């Protein structure tokens, strides 16, 4: 049951992950982008955290809608609209009290929305390379956190085809994608609260 206390804890955990890892995300984005991913995510989740009392009191779909709207407005860059789209799509697809199956199905739908928005797909060295394996783990009963961390590592040898890193061509190879890392951190934060 995702009650108000759990929604509050989820927002606190996601915000703590983004604030606590802002420098790491920035360093990853300095290597293959413009060095703002840590700051973008920190700014977005600080704004969500500032609204936690209001957001956590809403039913889950409305809370996700509020989070998505805030991320679109505050994160900026490429990742703001994409994470915003993810949250807004989850808002549409999730019931107020979702099962693991509901989560898996909703995440699949939200991934499709991110792909449409980003004109992107898996294998292009983006957040999608973490989100898809997480959906697969939810479906198969595997550990989503292990799947997310392994999938973020697996972006290191990929060549970027979407986002700023694509401008680097082969020079994007050998670095972890910043959005893949932030996705893995968010998955770990969520799983830490939901318990697996
Ligand atoms: P910007 O690149 O505009 O500075 P950020 O640095 O905040 O934005 O976010 C970069 C991350 O966004 C990338 O590491 C990648 O994971 C993700 N990203 C960028 N473009 C796309 C896309 N078209 N589809 C999916 N993810 C993308
Ligand atoms: Mg950037
Ligand atoms: Mg930028």
Is residue 182 lining ligand 1, measured as CB closer than 6 Å? no
Residues ≥6 apart with Cβ < 8 Å to 101: none
Query: Quick one: which atom of ligand 1 is closest to the CA of 34?
Result: 4
Q: With 80 as the cut, is the pLDDT of residue 164 above it?
A: yes
ipTM of this complex prediction, to 2 decimal places: 0.99
| Segment 74-106, tens digit of pLDDT | 999 999 999 999 999 999 999 999 999 999 999
85 lines ligand 1 (CB under 6 A): no
Average pLDDT, the chain: 97
Ligand 1 in contact with 36 (CB < 6 A)? yes
CB of residue 38 inside a 6 A radius of ligand 1: no
> Domains in the chain, start-ordered, CATH in brackets?
4-194 (1.25.40.340)
pLDDT score for 195: 85
Distance, CA of 121 to CA of 107 (rounded, Å): 15
Ligand index nearest the alpha carbon of residue 85: 1
Among 18, 74, 78, which residue has the most ligand 1 atoms within 8 Å of its CB, making it the best to mutate?
78
Per-residue pLDDT tens digits for 8-24: 999 999 999 999 999 99
């Amino acid at each position: 049951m995702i009650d108000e206390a759990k929604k509050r804890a989820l927002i606190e955990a996601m915000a703590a992950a983004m604030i606590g890892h802002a420098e790491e995300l920035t360093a990853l984005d300095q290597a293959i982008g413009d060095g703002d991913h840590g700051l973008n995510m920190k700014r977005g989740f600080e704004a969500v955290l500032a609204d936690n009392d209001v957001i956590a009191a809403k039913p889950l779909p409305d809370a996700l809608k509020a989070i998505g709207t805030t991320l679109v407005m505050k994160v900026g860059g490429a990742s703001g609209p994409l994470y915003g789209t993810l949250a807004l799509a989850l808002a549409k697809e999730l019931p107020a009290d979702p099962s693991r199956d509901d989560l898996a199905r909703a995440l699949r739908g939200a991934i499709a929305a991110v792909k449409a928005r980003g004109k992107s797909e898996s294998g292009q060295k983006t957040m999608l390379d973490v989100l898809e394996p997480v959906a697969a783990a939810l479906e198969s009963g595997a550990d989503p956190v292990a799947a997310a961390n392994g999938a973020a590592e697996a972006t290191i040898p990929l060549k970027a085809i979407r986002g700023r890193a694509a401008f680097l061509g082969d020079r994007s190879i050998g670095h972890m994608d910043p959005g893949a890392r932030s996705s893995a951190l968010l998955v770990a934060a969520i799983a830490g609260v939901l318990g697996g």
